[in-house]
Chain A
Amino acid sequence: MKAKEASVSAGQIAVFLVLFTIGSTPMFELGSEAGQDSWIAISIAAAAGFCLLLVYRALYNRAPDTNLVGLYKLHFGKLLGGLLGAALAVVFALESMRNVRDFGELISATLLPQTPMWCTMLVLTGIVYYTARQGVEAFFRVNQVLIPVLAVSYISLLGLFLASGLLDFNRLRPVLENGFRPVLHAAFPDILSFPFGQVMVLMMFWTYARRSPSTGAMSYGAYIGVSLFLIAVNMVLMMVLGPELYRLAELPTLEAVEQIRLFNFLERLDILVTLLLYIGLYVKATGLFFGSVIALRTAWGVPYRAGALVMAPLIFTASFLEPIMSQHLWTGMTVYLKFSPYYQIALPLLMLVMGIGWVKKKAQRQAGQGGAKAGAGGQAKGREAGGQSGSGQSGAGNAAAGGAEASGSGQPGNGKAGADGSAEKAGSQDGQQDESPGSDGKNGERNKARGAPADSDAKQPSSGSESPEAGST
């Protein structure tokens, strides 16, 4: 488990959930096999996804101090849990890779057809990696900057659709022409897995917001909101394109927006949509990248920055696996979707059932023990982590930092009390640097020495790898 570190608010989690779920979704022909009823398919899948979210949250509540991989370890033991965690890291990395590739394809299909895809994908991977280096807090704050752009753009697009008179309600009729069967077939497992099942990544981030009491409620609210948004988007697309063109178009949203033509000068708005999709793809690729690296750390103790440094080139390379876009989409629609129900649905349900009662106690017991253990082993680990992360700074300073941190995490009881106090004070103020009052004098010095605001290391017991999420210049 991690020594933490970054802290985000419930509101930031909600913002992330919205951006992440929108992500690249408007890019794909969601539920096209249900024809004009695809909005019903999406509604059903969204409702099922909400149940999944409840399951995830229930699992998380068993051990609020850790993430999904920690839960794997709690449920299945260290060895099997670690393996599952590593597998999860691979899954997240693959999904992140898919978004990188989507990004490359999108750019080459719209803005820069001549530019080689390796170039655009390299830029995106670079940005993702850079964001990951800056840490969870920075990423969540970036989301807050991006969401108004997305909101304003989508609302104005809707207004333009209305004004241009392209919407025809009749294209949604007749409702349930072929009965419920194709609708259900479109909803399960396809739409449930993508995009709704992907909210699983939240299980990697909830623990950062555990000081906000309203995180659960905010997540549910954001989920409901974004589901309604996606349903509305789908209905609009269907009303513009009709089921046949919707199915035919590789990028239905672009196709629909291309038809907007107003006042003889408002045309070619597909560029705007392209930019919106870039935002979604970036958030999605980065969120999954974080998920992968954090999973790797929790599973096998791979230091955060080392993990990121290894993962980024891997993701970049893997994004060339499929030769052309149609195959890329095919892989997404068949291979991944056949595979994803196991880790998105089956495994969490299994954990939910088998872990009733005892896991929570085990987690609490470990939290108590973990502190003592960290006190013993923290020194060495802290040094190691400090050494690898503080590149460009004096080695002596790093060693001191490592030591300071280890001693900080040596007193988990105190640290926790302090942190809890800060939670009450700081409440749910978004985007606030969490200067934990729990840090003792040494920690404060360390922070200054590194020239960066760091979070309370005292907060988290156990494995003691230093806080990579805290921003370092």
Chain B
Amino acid sequence: MSRGIIRRWALLLAAALLFLPLAGCWDRKELNELGIIAATGIDVTEEGKWKISYQLVIPSAISSQNGFTSTTESPVNVFSTEGESVRGAVSRATQEMSRSLYFGHNQVVVIGERAARKGIGGLLDVYLRNGNSRETVMVFVTEGEARPILEQLLPMERISGNALTRLIALEKESGGNFRPQTVYSMLLQLLGPLHASAAPGIAINGSGEGVRSVDANKSTSTPSKVRLQKLALFRDDHMIGWIRTHESRGLLWLRSEVSGTTISFPCREGGPKVNSARITGLKTKMKPARSGDGWLLQADVEADATLFEYTCGGNLHDPAAVAGIERMLGQQVRSDIEDGLQASQRLKADVAGIGEAVRRKYPHTWKGIAAEWNSRFYPEMKAEIGVHVGLIKTGRSNRSYEQASEDSRERK
């Protein structure tokens, strides 16, 4: 009996001892030894070296005590390191940073234009190869350097890196000009059959200095702001040029990737765009077809519209007036799509994915033209875009205020 008891205790002791090696001390990470990165900036210096900037979160400045958040301390700290390669530059951080950098919470990577034009292949590889930097980070491209974007503080936001992700998410939801582009989706597009991708542009707009000090929160307006504008097009692994915001919107419409957007339209063709409507439920059917030597894109766009603002004459109870508005809206949508297509054709980068539709429809022909699609066939492609916008809501009034005022005058 006693032997059994001893045996049992010995087993228990052995089990308890197992906890020691099984816990594994090699990979422990102490929170107070980590420097948590919220955003990364990629630049190339004059000498052609990589310059990586980090937006470091300062935990004590963002933790609130008793509901009161300290505003005297800057919530983030930005610093840069340089190196011959991306990770080489990152590893230099140990020379000036007392904590080891932790990229698990990195949300945003901002690429300076020069770095983007040089090529982002190395950056993409770093994201794929290393488990702690995730491919879900969002990519932005900026004219000029990336570092000032990281230094800029956004009004109402503590950590501007996180704020940028909300900014672009909201833009996709409501603005409809850009959509978030992650490293993952860029990889998919650049490695896909078309080797073309795009990333939204970001810039600091406004007069004077960037907002780099928390003191700026003391005034009611900030002298400069971060703003989404333009779209950077990539082919293979480097940037080839910019297209404008409304062109970016047109390309997104072609891909049916807009959840909602507001557009302005005129009363009659060529007039000032004094009315606006919200476009929702946009769906595009792309049908590529051969035409002679080249290709023809037939796109059918269907969308719903809600009238937001209307200043033209006529009564909206009249079906003809509604049809007129729908036609005007359709023209606006079509012109944006055409502008977007032309811009991307000019840069020879099929970012709208028309080549993929060709590949699906004509898999055998595609093999012969794939290599020259971006350089030859896509730029020469013709497009027939049919748009049908259906007005589903006109709001709570029927005529415009101008019309009503005119009517009341006539009645007197």
A218-260 interface bits toward B, Cβ cutoff 8 Å, 1 = contact, 0 = none: 0000000000000000000000011011001100000100110
B residues 150-200 touching A (CB-CB < 8 Å): 182, 184, 187-188, 191-192
Within 8 A of B (CB), among A90-107: none
B345-361 residues at the A interface, CB under 8 angstroms? 356, 359-360
Chain B's nearest CB lies how many Å from the CB of A35? 11
Q: How far is the CB of B228 from chain A (nearest CB, A)?
A: 20
**Is the interface on chain A under 10, 10 to 19, 20 to 34, or 35 or more residues?**
20 to 34
Report whether A241 and B188 are in contact in the complex, using a CB–CB cutoff of 8 Å.
yes
Query: B22: CB under 8 A from chain A?
Result: yes
Q: Does B24 contact A (CB under 8 A)?
A: yes
Q: Which residue of A lies closest to B165 (CB)?
A: A264
B136 an interface residue at 8 Å Cβ cutoff? yes
Complex CA gap A173/B188 in Å reads 15
A258 touches B26 (CB 8 A): no
Q: Is the CB of B27 within 8 A of A267?
A: no
Contact of A432 with B by CB under 8 A: no
Q: Write out the residue numbers on chain B whose beta carbons fall within 8 Å of the beta carbon of A174.
A: 359-360, 363
**Bitwise interface map of B from 118 to 150 toward A, beta carbon under 8 Å scored 1, else 0:** 000000000010010011100000000000000
Query: Contact between A268 and B27 (Cβ–Cβ < 8 Å)?
Result: no
Q: A170-B356, A170-B360 are in contact. Are A110 and B131 (CB under 8 A)?
A: yes
Q: What residues on A are CB-neighbors of B182 within 8 Å?
A: 259
Contact B135 A242 (CB under 8 A): no
A254-291 CB mask vs B (1 if < 8 Å, else 0) is 01001101000001101000000000000000000000
Cβ B128 vs Cβ A112 within 8 A: no
**What residue in chain B is nearest A242 (Cβ atoms)?**
B188
B136 touches A245 (CB 8 A): no
CB of B368 closer than 8 Å to a CB of A? no
Are B188's CB and A115's CB within 8 A?
A: no
Q: Which residues does chain A contribute within 8 Å of B184, judged by CB atoms?
A: 258-259
Q: Quick check: B128 and A249 within 8 Å, CB to CB?
A: yes
Are B24 and A115 in contact, with the CB atoms below 8 A?
yes
Instruction: Assess whether A313 is interfacial by the CB under 8 Å rule.
Output: no
Chain A min CB distance to B53 (Å) = 24
B395 at interface by CB-CB < 8 Å: no
Q: How far is the CB of A110 from chain B (nearest CB, A)?
A: 6
By a CB distance below 8 angstroms, the chain A residues around B272 are: none
Separation in Å of the B269 CB from the closest CB of chain A?
37
In the complex, what distance in Å separates the CA atom of A258 from the CA atom of B184? 10
Complex-state Cα separation, A261 to B22, whole angstroms: 31
1/0 per residue A110-148: CB within 8 Å of B?
A: 111111100100010000000000000000000000000
A245 to B190 Cα, complex, angstroms: 10
Pair A115/B26 contact, Cβ less than 8 Å: yes
A113:B27 contact, CB within 8 angstroms: yes
Contact A259 B26 (CB under 8 A): no
A109 within 8 A of B: yes
Known A170-B360, A268-B134; judge A242-B24 contact (CB<8 A). Answer: no
A261 / chain B contacts, CB cutoff of 8 Å = 136
Determine if B363 and A177 form an interchain contact, defined as CB atoms under 8 angstroms apart.
yes
Whether A248 lies near B128 (C-beta < 8 A) is yes
Contacts of B27 in A (CB 8 A): 111-115
Residues of A within 8 A of B134 (CB): 258, 267-268
Nearest-CB residue, chain B, relative to A259: B184
A170 to B22, CA, bound (A): 45
B-side contacts of A241, CB under 8 Å: 188
**Which single residue of chain A is at the shortest CB-CB distance from B162?**
A264
A112 engages B191 (CB within 8 Å):
no
Min distance, Cβ B390 to any Cβ of chain A, angstroms? 25
| Nearest CB on A from B13, distance (A) | 16
Judge if B319 is at the interface, Cβ distance under 8 Å: no
B17-51 to A contact mask, C-beta < 8 Å, 1/0: 00001101011000000000000000000000000
User: 1/0 per position for A440-473, CB-CB distance to B under 8 A?
Assistant: 0000000000000000000000000000000000
* Chain A residue contacts of B136, Cβ below 8 A: 258-259, 261, 267
Query: Given the complex of chains A and B, what is the CA–CA distance between A92 and B390 in angstroms?
Result: 66
Q: Are B22 and A259 in contact (CB-based, < 8 A)?
A: no
Complex CA gap A174/B360 in Å reads 5
Nearest-neighbour CB distance to chain B for A25, whole angstroms, equals 21
B359 CB, nearest partner CB in chain A, Å: 6
Q: Are B24 and A119 in contact (CB under 8 A)?
A: yes
Given contacts A112-B27, A242-B188, A244-B192, whether A123 and B360 have CB atoms under 8 Å apart is no
Q: For the complex, what is the distance from the CA of A244 to the CA of B22, rounded to whole Å? A: 38
| A112→B24 contact, CB < 8 A | yes
Complex Cα–Cα for A258 and B360 (A)? 28
For A267, the closest partner residue in chain B by CB is B136
Docked pose: A115 CA to B28 CA in angstroms = 10
CA distance A367 to B184 in the complex (A): 62
CB contact list, B83-141 vs A, under 8 A: 104, 128, 131, 134-136
A274 CB to closest chain B CB (Å) equals 10
Q: In the complex, which residues of chain A have a beta carbon less than 8 angstroms from the beta carbon of B359?
A: 174, 177
Set of chain A residues within 8 Å of B192, measured between Cβ atoms? 242, 244
Interface centre among A111, A112, A241, A259 (most CB of B within 10 A): A259
Cα distance, A267 to B132, chains bound together (Å): 13
Question: Which of the residues B7, B131, B363 comes within 8 Å of A113, measured between beta carbons?
Answer: B131
The answer on a CB contact under 8 Å between B22 and A116 is no
Docked Cα-Cα span, A174 to B359, in Å, equals: 7
Q: Which of A152-178 contact B (CB under 8 A)?
A: 170, 173-174, 177
| Bound: A173/B192 CA distance, A | 12
On whether the beta carbons of B22 and A245 are closer than 8 Å, the reply is: no
Tell me if B26 and A116 are in contact (CB < 8 A).
yes
Report how far A270 CA is from B131 CA in the complex, Å: 10
B363 and chain A: residue at smallest CB distance: A174
Distance to closest chain A CB from B373 (angstroms): 15
| CB-CB nearest 6 A-B residue pairs | A244-B191, A174-B363, A115-B26, A114-B26, A112-B27, A114-B27
Q: Which residues of B contact A (CB under 8 A)?
A: 7, 21-22, 24, 26-27, 104, 128, 131, 134-136, 182, 184, 187-188, 191-192, 356, 359-360, 363
Told that A115-B26, A242-B192, A249-B128 touch, could you supply 8 new A-B pairs with CB distance under 8 A? A113-B27, A174-B359, A241-B188, A244-B192, A245-B191, A259-B135, A261-B136, A267-B134
A-B contact pairs, 5 of them (CB 8 A): A109-B131, A113-B131, A177-B359, A241-B188, A258-B184
